[in-house]
Amino acid sequence: MMNIETISSWFKNLQNNITDELSKVDGKSSFQSDLWQRQEGGGGDTRIILNGNVFEKGGVNFSHVHGKLPSVLKSETKKADFFHATGVSIVIHPQHPLVPIIHMNVRYFEMRDKEDGEVTDAWFGGGIDLSPAYPNEADVKYFHQYLKNVCDQHDLTFYPKFKKWCDEYFTIVHRQQMRGVGGIFFDHLRGNEQKSLEDIFAFVQDVGNAFVPVYTEIVNRNREKSYTEAHKQWQYIRRGYYTEFNLVYDRGTHFGLKSNGRIESILMSLPPHAEWKYNLIPEKGSEEAEALTFFQPKDWELN
């Protein structure tokens, strides 16, 4: 039977698998574990990799927190006073400017009328998206096709719906561009007559299991390519835009800050180095100008 312990245990195993596999990909550095407790209830395991061959900074966070419902969640649920939330959140910042940043989050929330009472509401959320400094069409189509295949195994409406949701959600509104090339994003997936909560969990598990194979392939396609100092400077600029999105718009960051979350784990998503240049406009015809054309919603004409 599916319950909070079953779901939380699966997320914990997912963290173990991803950190093991990414450490192998890096070949130099490995993830260090930082266990923490939340005063109001629950805790987690923040795992960080630093200064590796491939990954300059990355975090794979697991958490299972519970307690009195934060006010930030009260508008999202039926009447309830207590909650459980568990999941895995990942952000990887590579050394190489041609290897993309990747983000994934898979999570489960449930609400209760009493601390140990009956569940009154429950849903899954999550997604996975890619933020290259220098996108190329082959990698972007491969990434989207992989996610479409995962979605299509569960529901043919999932990919077009969740792809559009991702494009819209991960938009840096004040710059009128996406922070990357999108992926899929979903939230408040509740059980209904068409799909049970168990069915949705199976979909979320497949999304989580997609992370290692799809990212490893893209890393290996790009990690040996040559690059210049100009490429590094543009990478820092794109990291700056990534930072802007996370601090200004990201709901997960805001939820963590407003629910007395652990600040080191919440801000793990920020890059180690970034830059902001005044009124930067890439030269027409440059690689950077070409990159900007990718940061708008596109139909990738997948199979």
CB 234 within 8 A of CB 16: no
Cα–Cα dist 283/121, whole Å: 52
273 is catalytic: no
Phi/psi of residue 115, nearest 5 degrees? -55, -40
Which is the catalytic residue, given 103, 144, 231, 254? 103
Cα–Cα dist 42/49, whole Å: 24
Cα–Cα dist 82/116, whole Å: 9
DSSP string covering 235-288: HHHHHHHHHHHHHHT-HHHHHHHHTT--HHHHGGGS-SS----TT--PPTTSHH
Query: What's CA 270's distance to the chain center, in Å?
Result: 12
Which residues have CB under 8 Å from 7's CB, separation 6+?
86, 108, 201
CA dihedral 70, 164, 216, 27 (to 10 degrees): -40
Q: Give the active site residues.
A: 103
